[in-house]
Structure 1
């Protein structure tokens, strides 16, 4: 079973709130001939489209191959949060990489947020960056850690954008009695994720990149002049960038051993009208401290977009059931509120939750495994992949130096072992351990 076709119709966006409110974008053509390019990019999500834009701006001939539509995968289905920092916190990075590298990784993450905002502004995308992401803690111990970490970032990294919240403040902010406190990161934010992907595609096209939809890659032949094959065409090129994330499939076993696809789900209520202010008193996004994270925000027409629940097989479960339960644990007052949209998507995780950057050959680069932290980091990844395709890149090499262990097991055993481990952690959430 191929994840590209397990839950979706060919060339169609899922029936999501994002697809229903997306910017107009005429379909791109299908690759139906043999062409040549300087760089062939596989995947038209944030990573691939950002790489295409930055390469095309340098005058290179770029071909982007997408199996469905631009932004079809996680880039067009996610929670839209543009978070601060890397996926692991700075304590982990300092212990793992050393102080100097940890500071450089923090700076890269800051650059990633700025890049998203700059691209929106520079290319006049119909996308609004809404500032503010709150982190809601279930336990007092998590609150203490949250506040201590905010103090550390201010002291050691000069980042003073995080406001600590006690129990009263978090409950006033998010309209729920479920949490004990947390913080509000004023330097983070949230966007319409699919419209950002569409904006990147338009910008890449305007810069000269060729984008092909309904052009699933079936084979990649390595060598000094790699050959990328689809059902009806081929691209002969000097460099290849793998940017398929959770939909990479069997194109590269080395990446597949370190990057695992999982599924996550979102529902959207009907517009809440005046009730919206009782759910979120400010137009922020929220993520909590569950292992399987609950995350939510209000849409621009005041729907609650609530994400939660995971699955680890090919087929999506009953999404409405999977997400309504955690939503009602946070907002029992929405029990009788109609749900207008329910959709799922496939993202990719790594064992240590840090993204997997790798040079698979002198002329084949890959970045994936953003582990739910991809809006900003994946966009930056595209820029770094573009740089590294042209010349040595210290920033790409730093990301590639992050340790990336393989998932345990081999071949067919890898997925069952992942399911077993993730199910255990999900059970810990339910038991409050």
Structure 2
């Protein structure tokens, strides 16, 4: 079943149930209006509804239409630059908090799936793959910082033999295994969370793009056909917010990422390619990421581009990348190809806060590790809305600068910076 309002993806073709939601019309009132029905908005709304708040969730398209329903489906424990880089930057105490937060985020996913009986093909385990000795050393440092934070369950193994225990590829020199991570069908997770919110009494309106917000202590949210008067507002549109709030948009750059998915593979081929049913990514700056779907298709992603553009022949480029990693798939047909945008910040940490002189909270800019961080951020936003912001403040204290170059030049500026890291990839350095 393909819903034509979603991008044509493997996920849209394998939705597990119908979910029809109305468009906002007329005037409405609630305690909290949440804008954006991706993982941040859904998690926030669920946590608020559990606290007894009357919640209205507005979505400009469909639940999970953006990055939450298009991503690689990997619940990774970490942030863009990894935990290993954070001790020097934030100190051990805050690094421990940030790691515990993202571990909690993954547990929230598991709890939602269990509590609300969400069918989304959850599988435990995530593995990183080193393409150089320097990346293996970075993995070792990551493991050491995790241990100093009180977590000693990261496993690192060197050599092609260790690689071959996990994947059928000769491209790597070692492995990094985190049992806390997972992979899943993200669009079915998002839609399952939407149904959970409905059961809790929350209202969801699709095809209700927000066109204006009164950013005051008594905010109002306007769509083309309706208005919501709320005590508080939470903005969670991330890369798809546009210029609705210019001071938020200035701190983001949209980045496009793309995925191809093969035809169904035979059991023999599938078990040769993916030998442990984990989510995988390498440790390059422009990385490859992949996993096996429930129906034995290899889902392979990568080829990121700043500014949210979609270059020509990106599916062909991804297929070529896939074959470099797995030559045994040279004759496999590609059945699906799609892309979408996520948002990065200058700090590569989530940008969270409260708009000045208003009751408008926000969270955005997960910089490529959003499946887990969005879910914990939803809980922290709910806590902040309820008046307990101590945990939320741990993220709000991270300095967030506008992207260099202003609105017109920030994408070229970030692209120039990325060339340095692409050179590091070629030299075998690590993104961590």
**TM superposition score category, shorter chain reference:** over 0.9
Q: Equivalent of 2:321, from 321, 326, 334?
A: 326
- What corresponds to 2:46 in structure 1? 53
Alpha-carbon distance in structure 1 between the residues aligned to 2:98 and 2:256 = 27
Q: Tell me if 1:37 matches 2:30.
A: yes
Contact 1:23 1:198 in 2 (8 A): no
Map of 1:161 onto structure 2: 153
Name the structure 1 match of 2:212: 219
> 1:356 corresponds to which residue?
351
1:405-424 aligned within 5 A: 405-423=401-419
Mapped partners of 1:152, 1:48: distance in 2: 31
1:149 and 1:422 mapped to 2: Cα distance? Answer: 22
**Aligned residue runs from structure 1 range 381-392, under 5 A:** 381-392=377-388
Give 1:275's match in structure 2, choosing from 266, 269, 286. 269
User: Which runs of no fewer than 5 residues in structure 2 stay unpaired?
Assistant: none
Tell me how far 1:85 sits from its aligned partner. Answer: 3.1
Give the C-alpha shift of residue 414 in structure 1.
1.8
Match of 2:391 in 1: 395
Q: Normalised by the size of structure 1, how large is the TM-score?
A: 0.93
Residues in 1 aligned to 2:10 and 2:327: alpha-carbon distance in whole angstroms: 22
Alignment-derived partner of residue 373 in structure 2: 377
- 2:146 is equivalent to residue 179 of structure 1: no
Q: Which residue of 1 aligns with 2:86?
A: 93
Match of 1:133 in 2: 126
Asked if the contact 2:135–2:428 (Cα under 8 Å) also holds between the matched residues in 1, the reply is no
Q: Deviations over 1:77-112 (max 9, x none)?
A: 111111123333334322222222111222112211
> C-alpha separation between the residues in 2 aligned to 1:290 and 1:92?
15
Task: For 1:145-160, list aligned pairs within 5 A.
Answer: 145-154=138-147, 156-160=148-152
Give the 3-state SS of the residue equivalent to 2:97 in structure 1: helix
Counterpart CA distance in 1 for 2:99 and 2:425 is: 29
TM-score (ref. length: structure 2): 0.94
What is the aligned residue count?
A: 424
Task: Check the 8 A contact 1:11/1:214 in 2, yes or no.
Answer: no
How many angstroms apart in 1 are the aligned matches of 2:369 and 2:70?
13
Alignment partner, residue 77 of structure 2: 84
Q: Deviations over 1:346-399 (max 9, x none)?
A: 111112211111111341111111111111110111111111111132110111
Contact 1:319–1:344, Cα closer than 8 Å, also in 2: no
Superposed CA RMSD in Å reads 1.9
Inter-partner Cα distance in structure 2 for 1:281 and 1:305: 15
2 CA distance for matches of 1:428 and 1:52? 41
Q: Please give the per-residue CA displacement for 1:236-277, whole angstroms capped at 9, x wherever unaligned.
A: 111111100100110112211212211100000011112011
Give the Cα–Cα distance (whole angstroms) in 2 for the partners of residues 127 and 338 of structure 1: 24
Q: 1:425 to 1:151 in 2, by over 3 A?
A: closer
Matched, 1:299 2:293: yes
Report the secondary structure of 2:33's partner residue: strand
Q: Is the 8 A contact 1:47 1:381 kept in 2?
A: yes
Which deviates more from structure 2 when the two are superposed, residues 422-431 or residues 334-343? Answer: 422-431
In structure 2, the partner of 1:28 is 21
* Counterpart Cα distance in 2 of 1:147 and 1:97: 20
Displacement of 1:432 in angstroms is 5.4
- 1:365 aligns to 2:361 (yes or no): yes
Secondary structure class of the residue paired with 2:85: helix
Q: Give the superposition deviation at 1:428.
A: 5.0
**Residue pair 2:103, 2:180 contacting (<8 A) in 1 also:** no
Q: Is there any run of 5+ residues in structure 1 with no aligned partner, and where? A: 1-8
Identify which range, 78-87 or 106-115, moves more after superposition. 78-87
- Cα distance in 2 for partners of 1:430, 1:215 equals 45
